[in-house]
């Protein structure tokens, strides 16, 4: 049973444009929502994360928007650059303890010049 | 400080062969995880270890076994490899009181 649904599967954006990736979750007990970035041949690395007590978190060109009532959250990449080309995974978990994380299926982003 | 290391980086097995994937972390983390990554499937948890001496099944444990040898090392064993286990395997670790998981570089396994 997939508990985190991610879309789109792939995304092509022109340099300077806005990339938007969406995720929806089912378990209302989740209280930690990270986004991981993965470059080819590398392991995923934490990009940005949010807790459900805030509706938005911004770090540089990356912003998470969170809608608790809709059980949805999204990643926005402003002024997208070719170096942002990677696979992005959303995830959800219960913080603390052993923290079993449920990942989305990933979005392959390509930013073209 | 190497973070999370995995060996080998690549491996080709024949159906029925066995092998052990090694993982070690030097960050003094309690929790460690094994994931597999397949196209269109994201990262799926195979096994995890909340602390030294404990292991638990994740989402897709069938065909795998694990050993938490000590706080640093967490190995994944395939007793009788099958083509369905062709995948990229990632080990990860997490410190207590923090939510970020740190991933290793992965092992790309092909079972013929």
A43/B92 CB distance under 8 A: yes
Distance from CA of B72 to the nearest CA of A (A): 16
A43 interfaces chain B, CB cutoff of 8 Å: yes
For the stretch A46-69, pLDDT in tens is: 999 999 899 999 999 999 999 999
**Whole-number Å distance between alpha carbons of B84 and B14:** 12
Say if the Cβ atoms of B104 and A43 lie within 8 Å: yes
pLDDT tens per residue, range B81-100: 999 999 999 999 997 767 78
- Per-residue confidence at A99, pLDDT binned at 50, 70, 90? low
The burial class, CB within 10 Å (0-12 / 13-18 / 19+), for B88 is middle
Q: Decide if A46 touches B, using CB distance below 8 A.
A: yes
Read off the tokens for B15. 């159906």
CA A103 to chain B, closest CA, distance in angstroms equals: 6
**Is a pLDDT exceeding 60 seen at residue A1?**
no
Of chain A, the percentage scoring pLDDT greater than 70 comes to: 95
> According to the model, what pLDDT value does residue B75 have?
97
Q: Is A98 a residue whose pLDDT tops 80?
A: no
Q: Taking 60 as the threshold, does the pLDDT of residue A19 lie above it?
A: yes
Q: In the structure, what pLDDT confidence band is assigned to residue B34 with cuts at 50, 70 and 90?
A: very high
Q: How far apart are CA B93 and CA B98, in angstroms?
A: 11
SS (H, E, C) chain A: CCCEEEECCEEEEECCCCEEEEEEECCCCCCEEEEEEECCCCCCEEEEEECCCCCEEEECCEEEEEECCCCEEEEEECCCCHHHCEEEEEEEECCCCCCCCEECCCEEEEEEC
User: Average pLDDT for residues A14-43, to the nearest whole number?
Assistant: 95
Q: Compare all CA atoms of chain B with the CA of A1 and give the residue at the minimum distance.
A: B59
Put simply, whether B7 touches A (Cβ < 8 Å) is no
Alpha-carbon dihedral sign for residues B84, B37, B57, B12: positive
Could you give the count of Cα atoms lying within 13 Å of A69 in the half-sphere of its Cβ? 0
């Amino acid at each position: 049973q997939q508990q985190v649904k991610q879309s789109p599967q792939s995304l092509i954006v022109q340099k300077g444009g806005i990339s938007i990736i969406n995720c929806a979750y089912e378990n209302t007990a989740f209280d930690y929502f990270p986004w991981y970035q993965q470059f080819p041949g590398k392991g995923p690395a934490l990009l940005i994360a949010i807790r459900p007590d805030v509706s938005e978190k911004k770090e540089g060109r990356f912003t998470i928007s969170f809608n608790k009532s809709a059980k949805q959250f999204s990643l926005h990449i402003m002024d997208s650059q070719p170096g942002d080309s990677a696979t992005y995974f959303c995830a959800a978990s219960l913080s603390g303890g052993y923290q079993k994380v449920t990942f989305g299926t990933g979005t392959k982003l390509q930013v073209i010049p | 400080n190497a973070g999370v290391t995995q060996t080998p980086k690549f491996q080709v097995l024949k159906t029925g062969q066995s092998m052990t994937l090694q993982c070690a972390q030097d960050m003094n983390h309690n929790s460690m995880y094994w994931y597999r990554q397949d196209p269109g499937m994201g990262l799926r948890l195979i096994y995890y270890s909340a602390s030294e001496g404990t292991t638990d099944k994740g989402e897709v444990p069938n065909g795998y076994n694990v050993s938490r040898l000590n706080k640093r090392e967490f190995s994944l064993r395939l007793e009788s490899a099958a083509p369905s286990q062709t995948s990229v395997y990632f080990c990860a670790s997490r410190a207590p009181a923090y939510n970020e998981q740190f991933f290793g570089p992965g092992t790309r396994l092909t079972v013929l």
